[in-house]
Amino acid sequence: MTLTDLSKAICKEFKDYFPKLVICKPHGGPLDKEELTQITTQVPAIYVAVLGTEKGTPMGGGQTGTSVHLEAFVVTKDKPDLPKEEAALNIVEGLLERIPGSNWGCKEVEGAKPAASKNLYSDARKLEVALWSVSWSQTVCLGKDAFETEFPHPTHLYVGQKPKIGNGHENDYTLLEKKS
């Protein structure tokens, strides 16, 4: 698992959860005022940023378990039937419900811890948009598992005793386990 893969998986789930989003994509970090002026035409939007990690713990097999800090930035604008503040709060509430426990469909990711939100009104006020952030953390197994293989796993486990082993002695083996 990579952090890029994680942020893409999160964006895919958010886009599915909020089908009316115009944009939901990974972002390099917090939105600054210059960026906000460029993106205010494509709203409602969510930008997902990986903000940092904590020191990892070896998990075996070459992977490292690392607590990853993430943040989703919600940007909305007034619509004729929905004020920007209400639209932003609707999305924020949805994120606060959706995030806890989610692994984003990735087996290498533990369920997310409960999220917190913050109103970034002062940064967005002059641009006539509502801006909120929703932050959370979760543990991710980074790296490739050395024991993962593309080969099929055996479904039958047999035991035999020397000298009755090998070709010609298949009927001398005892079946210990069979997986369906």
Distance CA 64, CA 57 (A): 5
- Report the number of distinct structural domains present in the chain: 1
| Positions of E strands within the chain | 23-27, 45-53, 57-60, 63-77, 116-119, 129-142, 156-159, 174-178
Position 175 in a domain: no
Tell me which residue range forms the domain holding 14.
3-142
Query: Cβ contacts of residue 163 below 8 Å, gap of 6+?
Result: none
> What is the number of other CB atoms lying within 10 angstroms of the CB of residue 106?
16
pLDDT, tens digit (0-9, with 9 covering 90-100), for 85-109 = 999 999 999 999 999 999 999 999 9
pTM of the model: 0.77
pLDDT of residue 145: 52
Position 113 in a domain: yes
pLDDT, tens digit (0-9, with 9 covering 90-100), for 1-56 = 889 999 999 999 999 999 999 999 999 988 777 777 777 778 899 999 999 998 87
